[in-house]
Chain A
Amino acid sequence: MTETYLILAAVFIVIGAASLIFKKRTGYMPVIILGAALLASLIGGMGFRFREIVEGSFAYLDNVMWVLCGGLLTALLYQNGTFSYMLDSWMRKERSPFVRMTGLLLLVGIPGMLTGSALASVASTGVIAGKYLMRRGLTKVEAVEIVAGGSFLGMILPPLCTPAMLMIIGRAESYNPSFEGYFLPLLALGLPALLIYAAISGKRLLGKLSADNIATEPQGSAACMIPLVVVFLLVISHNFLYSFMPFLGYPLIYIIGFVLALIFPNKRINPVDSLLKGIELVMIPASLMFAVGSLNEVMWMTGVNGNLNTLLLETSSVLLFVVPVLLLLVSGRLLGQPFAWALCAIIPAILNGSGFAHSPLRLLAASAILGVAAYRSFGVGNSIFAQSAHELDPENTVAVSVPMHACVPVIIVLVLALGMGFAASSLSWLMV
């Protein structure tokens, strides 16, 4: 047992210290986590185990391929003007602030839904929508609030959610998992938050936009939306009509969307640029997933996860949910997302110990709380809010303070996730 504590202390002291040293440069964290995995195998008396380090990343390979293909499609739709067309088409018509805000948040969230990463939304639709809103009289803080809220909700909404994939595949050693069947639970977490936030904040944020100052004729034709419509239908079929449809999988669905986007572009662009930009768009969550997979493998190899499970065998299932979730929330906000993601090398195994029946939805609830911790952090790491402010105004390095009402969607998701975690066994019907 002493060895287990020693490995845990060494690994998380190294990652925690690196989180503080690199602060905003989160790009270095995946390699630090890989280094910590090598250190763990060394302390465990097993030498440098490169085989397990490489093998661990394979647990997330399929999911990373989903995320990367989502990134390719997002980059192409961003660069060929489809998202701009959709924004102009949606905003130019006279609608109530609630309806307009709902559509705007969904539009900003599309890349987050396709890739599971909020940063993909921030760097694509977030830039388009944020600049559009600032040109029409919204302050930077208001525009950032909409971009950050939409990006966060896009990450939580189905079909993909990188924190959820990280957590659910993370229990691979104790149960054969796949990230299938989580469409409705993710919808149950994200949709109420989106609707309530739009109802509360629609008038405050978009009420001052008059028909005169938003009437922009959309450039191009509605045909550019065909790829997204086809991808939407295929994703719905993949999740609910799987008995009648051949299995395609997300990468193939997204590649079909990519090819259609080449056939129906809003403006001609070089697709090679989109292919390279798409990988870059989701580089950080994808490489973090691989790194955490390696650390997870080493934690099982050195017996850390097994020992923790044995130690916590008699602990109440409520504690086995509440304590890890608190740890994720607090560490994610204090030490940044990479540290909280590294904790997911051990937390899925602990949560899994809270009961087989509770496990899938409890893991999902914990992952939503991991996402909540990403919204804003205390100066460490690139939080969704800070990243949104940076994308909209890269020259201005002064941090934008987060107003309380900007945290409404995050608070709603937090409350819903806690509810889902506690009532997990009675909500299992959500898993289709």
Chain B
Amino acid sequence: MIAALNIIYLVIAAALALFALVNLLRAKTLDKAINMAILFVPLLLRALRIK
């Protein structure tokens, strides 16, 4: 169960990182792009299990 949850949570983190990245690339204002970048980095590192 724990192993399955771990994988599910990695997938959720990767999906959230992807949505943040798409928002970052489509951002029309600088502040939105910056905020999406701030969200993207830790989510990506979590998805890649880098810490």
A residues with a Cβ closer than 8 A to B are 25, 27-28, 30-31, 34, 54-55, 57-58, 61, 64-65, 68-69, 72, 246-249, 251-252, 255, 275-276, 278-280, 283-284, 286-287, 290-291
Contacts and interface: CB of A to CB of B under 8 A. Distances in A.
A58 B5 contact: no
Contacts of B48: none
Contact of A252 (B5, B26, B31, B42): B5
B42 A30 contact: no
Given A58-B51, A61-B46, A27 B38 contact: no
B22 A276 contact: yes
B1 interface: yes
Contact of A30 (B20, B35, B46): B35
13 contacts: A27-B32, A54-B42, A57-B42, A64-B42, A65-B13, A68-B39, A72-B19, A252-B8, A252-B12, A278-B19, A279-B20, A280-B23, A280-B32
Nearest to B11: A255
Given A251-B9, A276-B22, A283 B41 contact: no
Contact of B39 (A28, A248, A290): A290
Contact of B29 (A27, A68, A69, A72): A27
Contacts of A64: 39, 42-43
Given A248-B5, A276-B23, A280-B32, 14 more contacts: A27-B31, A30-B35, A31-B34, A58-B45, A58-B46, A61-B42, A61-B43, A65-B16, A65-B43, A72-B19, A249-B5, A251-B12, A275-B19, A283-B23
User: How would you classify the secondary structure of chain B's contact residues: helix, strand, loop or mixed?
Assistant: helix
Contacts, number: 83
Given A58-B51, A287-B38, A279 B32 contact: no
A28 B34 contact: yes
Closest 4 CB pairs of A and B: A27-B31, A287-B38, A287-B35, A57-B42
A278 B19 CA distance: 9
User: How would you classify the secondary structure of chain A's contact residues: helix, strand, loop or mixed?
Assistant: helix
A28 B13 CA distance: 24
A422 B23 CA distance: 44
B1 to A, nearest CB: 6
Contacts of B43: 61, 64-65
Contacts of B8: 252
Contacts of B38: 30-31, 34, 57, 287, 290-291
Contact of A65 (B12, B26, B35): B12
A249 B9 contact: yes
A248 to B, nearest CB: 8
B29 to A, nearest CB: 7
A165 B31 CA distance: 24
B1 A283 contact: no
Contacts of A283: 23, 32, 35-36, 39
Contacts of B35: 27, 30-31, 283-284, 287
Nearest to B35: A287
